Structure formats: C-alpha cells, structure tokens
Amino acid sequence: MLLAAVSAAQGFQGDVLRLVADSGTVVRAILLILLGFSVLSWAVILERFRTLRRAERDSLAFLHALEGEKRLADLRDRAGHFAASPLVPVFLSGFRELTSAVTEGVSRFRGAGIPDDARLRILERVRRRLEESGTAQADGLDRHLGILATTGSVTPFIGLFGTVWGIMNAFQGIGITGTASLAAVAPGISEALVTTAAGLAAAIPAVVAYNLLLARARRLGGRIDRFVAGFASIAEAQIETGRGPTAAVEAGKVRV
C-alpha cells in the first residue's frame, strides 16, 4: 500500500511537471516570476525569523543583566554580549549622552550645583537622544517585511493572469479544432490552473509569516519604547543628583 501511495504521488508530480513543460511561453514566464517571489519571500522569512528571535533572546538577557547590575558603567562594558538586542544601542547612546551632559553641567557649575533650568535642558537632551536611537532601532525591526506584504497581495493576481491567459488559449484551440469534448479542453484548463496554484503557494506562506513577524516586531518596538521611558527616569535621577552614570544607581528601575 505504501509503494502504491508513493507511486501515485510520483505520478501526480510527473503530471504537474509535464503540464509545466508543455505550457506556453507566457505561462512559463509567469511561473518563473512566481518562483522568484516565492524564493525571495522565503529568504526574508528565514532572515527575519532568525533576527527577531535573537533580538528577543538577547533583549531578555540584557534586561536581566540590567536588573542585577548596580553600576551602568559596568553594564556598558558587558553590552557587547547582547549585540543582537535593539535595546543595547539605545542604552549606549543614552549612556554616552548622559555622561557627556552631566559632566559638562558639573564642570560648568562647579561647586554651585546645576540650576533647575540647566537640568531640564540636560534631561531634554538625553531624552531626545534616547528617542532618536529608539526610533531608529524600531524602524529596523520590520525591515524587508514589505516584500512579504507585496508577495501576499500580488502573486495571486499574477497567477490569475496566467490562468486567464491559459483559458484563452484553450478556447482558441477549441475554435480551431471545432471540438469541445472534455478530452480536448481538460489539458488546456489544467495547464491554466497551474499558475493559480503557484500564485497561492507563494502568497499563503508570505501572508502568514508577515502577520507573525509583524506582531513580533511590534512587540519588540513596544519594549524599546518602555525601555526609553525607564532609562529616561534613571537619567533624570542622575541629573538631579548632579552625578554621572558611573555612580551607583538602581538599574532595576527600568521596567519593560
């Protein structure tokens, strides 16, 4: 029974391959286009899945290290261990800006403390840098997902065009031969429907992967936004005390 099933499956594949081989130039060109879309979309799916999975894993590890670290300067030195996390560039940019701003403020108002208006300017400067870096990282999370959206929306219509073209050829054949028997019509219709099947085969995985990957990218984007807000609160505390981030702080204040 198993051998019979395998033989049947092989015969079906052979029929499809024969239909493709016997198809016209236009249908072959459409199938090549659909194949290109499919290969490109699967490359994007695999790349984005691996990238976002590593980003989530390193982000969780980075947040765990942040909660257990008392000095942000020490965490800065270990940030390279979480290179795949989008939170690390945000942290490093905020750390550099906070260090620079507080150092400038302390040197400028040495012995007199940093005035309130200067603290507000410093905090706004740090917050702006955090938001710029966070936005840049969030924008990169959905990179190439537009290819999946395009594949999911375009390939069914490309396949349908191939089907319509094949049916037109089939009816032209009927008109030339003058017979409309099933034996005469079936090969042309089957050849035409191959492009529709190919279009759906390219579109369905692309649409499913697009929705799943976009949800994961948005989840990471929300985590970046919460991290920016949490780090800004740490920066505000450091500016109020007039110390740089090398001082001991409660890193667990960042909640994402």
pLDDT interval class at 235 (50, 70, 90): confident
- pTM for the whole structure: 0.75
Mean pLDDT of 98-102: 75
For 64-90, the pLDDT digits (tens) are 888 776 677 777 878 888 889 999 999
Give the residue with greater pLDDT, 156 vs 15.
156
Which pLDDT score is estimated for 108? 64
**Which pLDDT belongs to residue 66?**
80
DSSP H or E segment with residue 75: helix 72-78
Q: Beta-carbon neighbour count of residue 115 at 10 Å?
A: 12
- Total residue count of the chain as it appears in this document: 256
pLDDT on residue 178: 62
pLDDT at 150: 95
Segment 183-199 shows an average pLDDT of 74
Q: Is the pLDDT of residue 212 over 50?
A: yes
**Among all chains, which residue has been given the structure tokens 């219709």?**
189
Q: Can you give the pLDDT at residue 36?
A: 95
pLDDT value of residue 21: 62
Query: From CA 41, how far away is CA 102, in angstroms rounded?
Result: 47
**Nearest to residue 119, comparing CAs of 255, 24, 18, 240?**
240
| Residue 252: band (very low, low, confident or very high) from pLDDT cuts 50, 70, 90 | very low
Confidence of residue 13 (pLDDT cuts 50, 70, 90): very low
Share of the chain above pLDDT 90, in %: 31
Q: Does position 177 have pLDDT exceeding 80, yes or no?
A: no
